[in-house]
Structures are given as C-alpha cells and as structure tokens.
C-alpha cells in the first residue's frame, strides 16, 4: 500500500500565502502516447456488459461510460439494484487510478502504473493506495482489482478485499460480454 501526502486546496493556498510557495504537490500529466496506452482501452469499454453469477445463476449488468470531457470513465456495477456501486477510472500522472464507491460506504483508491499485454489480453492490476470513510463497522474494504480486457472481446474483473486483520480474501470474479 502506498501512502501519499496530499494537501487540500485550501491548505495549499494558505501555505502559499504564508510561505510564498508557488507550486502544489501534484502529479503532472504524462505524454499523450502513455496516457492513450493506459486509458484508451478502458475508455473503449463504453457500453453495457452482462454476465451471470456462477453461484446464484442470476444475470447482472455493468455499464461503462465516459465522463468529464472524456478524462474519466464511470463504471456502474449492478445499476438500479440496492448494491449498485460506482467506479471512476482516470489518469493521475503516469498512473491509472480507480476509485471504488462501495455499497459499504467507503471509497478505496487503487492504482496501477502499467498495462501488461499477455496472450489472454490487456491486464491491469490495481493495488490499494488509500481508503476514505472507513468506519469501525466495516469488517473489510476492497484491496485490489485486476481488470482483464480479454483478447476475445470479453471482460473479467477480479476483486479482492482486505479484512481488518490485513489479510486478503479470495477473489470475487465477474466475467462479462458486451451487450
């Protein structure tokens, strides 16, 4: 898990006024070709995807859509259900970031710095950077996610949670095809 110190805009502006600092501690944008290689395949997921839960046999839907002038992709898991969740993907410097807005009420932020090309497809492995709004009643929170854009055009997500003792759960896997 990486820990980054971030300042709120107000704190930075206050520091700038007091100390005369002229820059903020942010990640800078990267070359367009790196951004296209990292973000482009995720942006291309736009549309509706469906799958079937192997345990229950129930069908589910996941939707991807560009937002914020195509600088982010919003993923809605199980739209319209009580456990609907949202994930936002965007670039932050060299890294592709996903923030998972969990039905549990916390928001893990996971990061990857590369997309790996394999025979299976394009693989992104996101690791936990931080989690906000973690409360004592939360017995776990999402810890990492592997997104695989498969060569056959389907999609697989493998989600793992951290238990409060720091151990990782077995993955929960979603396999989807474009509707």
Q: Is residue 104 part of a domain?
A: yes
Report yes or no on 25 lying in a domain.
no
* Predicted pLDDT at 30: 67
pLDDT over 90 (residue 177): yes
Q: Is residue 134 part of a domain?
A: yes
Number of domains in the chain: 1
DSSP E strands, the chain: 47-52, 59-67, 72-77, 85-92, 95-101, 107-112, 115-117, 121-132, 140-150, 155-163, 172-178
* Cα 126 from Cα 111, distance rounded (Å): 5
pLDDT at 166: 85
pLDDT the model gives residue 28: 62
Q: What is the pLDDT of residue 140?
A: 82
Please check whether residue 6 lies inside any domain of the structure. no
The answer as to whether 65 is a domain residue is yes
Q: Name the least confident of 57-66, 90-99, 160-169.
A: 160-169
Task: Using CB atoms within 10 Å of the CB of residue 90, give its burial: 0 to 12 exposed, 13 to 18 middle, 19+ buried.
Answer: middle
pLDDT tens digits, 90-145: 999 999 999 999 998 889 999 999 999 999 999 999 999 999 898 888 778 889 99
pLDDT at 21: 43
Is 56 contained in some domain? Answer: yes
Print the domain residue range for 94: 30-178
* CATH code: domain of residue 94: 2.40.128.20
Flag whether 113 is in a domain: yes
* Residue 10 counted as domain residue: no
């Amino acid at each position: 898990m990486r820990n980054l110190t971030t300042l709120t805009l107000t704190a930075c502006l206050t520091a700038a006024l007091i100390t005369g600092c002229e820059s903020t501690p942010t990640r800078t944008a990267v070359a367009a070709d790196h951004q296209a290689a990292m973000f482009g395949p995720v942006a291309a997921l736009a549309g509706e995807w469906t799958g079937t839960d192997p345990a229950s046999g129930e069908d589910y839907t996941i939707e991807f859509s560009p937002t914020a002038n195509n600088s982010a992709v919003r993923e809605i898991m199980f739209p319209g259900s009580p456990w609907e969740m949202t994930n936002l993907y965007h670039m932050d410097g060299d890294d592709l970031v996903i923030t998972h807005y969990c039905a549990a009420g916390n928001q893990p932020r996971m990061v990857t710095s590369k997309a790996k090309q394999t025979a299976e497809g394009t693989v992104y492995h996101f690791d936990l950077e931080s989690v906000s709004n973690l409360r004592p009643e939360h017995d776990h929170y999402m810890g990492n996610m592997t997104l695989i854009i498969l060569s056959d055009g389907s999609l697989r997500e493998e989600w793992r949670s951290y238990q409060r003792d720091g151990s990782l759960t077995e993955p929960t896997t979603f396999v989807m095809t474009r509707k």
